[in-house]
């Protein structure tokens, strides 16, 4: 019984997160200006990171957790660098 509940809830969670990533990708492709695209890239990697956490729950392995941690770290740096680029026109001054 609990296996069935877990299977369907993890599947629903993954589907909803994939829908959220589709919304972020729509804004990423459509976005009228550059800051909209950077913002949607930020939401895109956060939902991808959460999707990897749910993959880890589904498979029961610890590997996906480390991938999620790396995505969190690299996404922070990339969004920061892109915001700095929009502000100044260059990343390293």
Partner 1 sequence: MTGDQFPLWAAIAVSVLLVAGSLLMLAGCIGMVRFRSFYQRIHAPTLGTSFGTIFILAGSVVYFTVTQLRPAVHEVLIFVFVSVTTPVTLMLLARAALYRDRIERVQDVPASKDPLDNAEMQTSKKPS
**In whole angstroms, what is the distance from residue 73 CA to residue 78 CA?**
9
Q: For residues 42 and 92, which CB has a smaller minimum distance to partner 1 in the complex?
A: 42
The closest of 13, 38, 14, 16 to 27, measured between CA atoms, is: 38
Residues that bind partner 1 (CB under 8 A): 1-3, 5-10, 12-14, 16-17, 19-21, 23-24, 26-27, 33, 35-36, 38-40, 42-43, 46-47, 49-50, 53-54, 56-58, 60, 62, 65, 68-69, 72-73, 76, 79-80, 82-84, 86-87, 89
């Amino acid at each position: 019984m609990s296996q069935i509940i877990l299977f369907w809830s993890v599947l629903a969670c993954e589907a909803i997160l994939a829908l959220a990533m589709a919304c972020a990708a729509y804004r990423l492709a459509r976005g009228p200006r550059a800051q909209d695209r950077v913002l949607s890239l930020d939401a895109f990697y956060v939902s991808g990171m959460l999707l990897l956490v749910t993959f880890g729950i589904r498979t029961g392995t610890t590997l996906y957790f480390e991938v999620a941690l790396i995505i969190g770290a690299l996404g922070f740096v990339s969004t920061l660098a892109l915001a700095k680029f929009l502000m100044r026109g260059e990343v390293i001054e």
